Structure 1
């Protein structure tokens, strides 16, 4: 499912609301939204539109979307390694305190 998109010359992200997911402009994103998106990217299929400066007219949206897209693409490329390292860290800690 797509969680970051470019539409109508603006960047958008999906926010999980009580009654479902809804799209918001990227400049409205907050730390809770980022944490939620990272959690989704860790556990589910996470899709996003690739950054294209020509498709986003608003400079603030360009900056925010570009940085988020870069970070999520990097994270998704290394997701398996990240999950393995997290599993090993917790496994070692659990064994230590048993």
Structure 2
């Protein structure tokens, strides 16, 4: 599922199946949190702002900020999961044996 796309020099985001693509400069706090939930719960794709140009400067700033943060989260998500499983492994084994 693609959640961020670049089309004709503008950035867009997508939240719901059957919904419409929304211009990235209209994103608000609620939509941003929902985008984060969709990102964490699904396999998603995003157009890279490095591969395509955003001619609208407002779209470029907002799109790049969201893209960078979500990309950074992807790298940290697996590391966080591994660390938390390792941290609580002894306790989980201790209580599972009882």
TM-score (norm 2): 0.75
Number of equivalent positions: 89
Higher strand share: 1
Give the 3-state SS of the residue equivalent to 1:5 in structure 2: strand
The structure 1 segments of at least 4 consecutive aligned residues displaced by more than 4 Å after TM superposition are 83-88
The equivalent of 1:31 in structure 2 is 29
Q: 2 CA distance for matches of 1:67 and 1:41? A: 15
Tell me if the contact between 2:15 and 2:38 (Cα under 8 Å) persists in the aligned partners: no
Contact kept, 8 Å, 1:2 with 1:46, in 2: the verdict is: yes
List gaps (5 residues or longer) in structure 2: 89-98
Which residue in 2 is equivalent to 1:49?
Answer: 47
